Amino acid sequence: MTQWFTIARVLPERLGLNGSSASAEILAMTLRQMGHEASIVDIHGPADAPSTADIVTIGSGSTSQLAPAATDLIALVRTFQHWKNSGAHWVAIGMGWDLLGESLMTAEGDTVPGAGIFPSRADYRAGRFSGEVRGSDFKGRESAGYINQVGTTELKEDVGPLMTLEGAPEGWPEQEGLRAPQLFATRLGGPALALNPHWALDIVTDVLASRGLQPQLNDFHTRVESAAARARALIVGRLSSRR
């Protein structure tokens, strides 16, 4: 039976760096290819917010967008808490993750309060890293992507990292991202779910399970994973050649 799902995409104009707002489209397509319907609602302020959301996505942004995005999010905190209490699943990339955490320390040492959705704290005083990375995720699956991110993030409470990096750059943490029930976050850039469609399937599987449903995979999902595996292999090859 076809089910309808609502995906709320938060501040896509401010937090869509390097295609990171496309997480919503990837998850919507994954659901549609399983025979369901998915609508994407762009959230610029409280007036745009639906009463409930099955999935909430937020992308990353440049440092110039930090202050205005933080200001815009203040007006949405009550909505976020309502969605969280209603069982929404959260998908956050880069700066969007940092702003939905408990707090963010800027490069200048100022503290920006977070929305409190993710049990994590970001610190932008640790410099920037840009480059391709590879590793194994929390299920032991090969995963890869590109990071262009300021600072580091400390995980709080009883949550674990999304993946462990192989040959992490000097001074950069070996553990990356956050994975917990109804929470997914990564510092990998915009195409994170495209390069690692197993993560998109994880998220969709959890969303379906909340309605007592099972994912129905088909040739589309096989082709997507095959293409992503080839793309990841290119990253692995480039990283290996630099050693």
**Residue 198, token pair as written in the block:** 């197993």
Picking from 217, 10, 6, the residue whose alpha carbon sits closest to that of residue 93 is 10
Q: Per the structure, how many domains does the chain have?
A: 1
State pLDDT tens for residues 15-36.
Answer: 999 889 999 999 999 999 999 9
Q: What are phi and psi of 68, to 5 degrees?
A: -65, -35
Tokens 């088909």 locate to: 218
Q: Tokens in use for 150?
A: 């300021």
pLDDT score at 198: 98
Domain that holds residue 134: 4-241
> What is the structure's pLDDT at 148?
87
pTM: 0.96
Model confidence over 166-214: pLDDT tens digits? Answer: 987 777 789 999 999 999 999 998 789 999 999 999 999 999 999 999 9
CATH number of the CATH domain containing 20: 3.40.50.880
Q: Widest CA span of the chain, in angstroms?
A: 53
In the chain, % of residues over pLDDT 70:
100
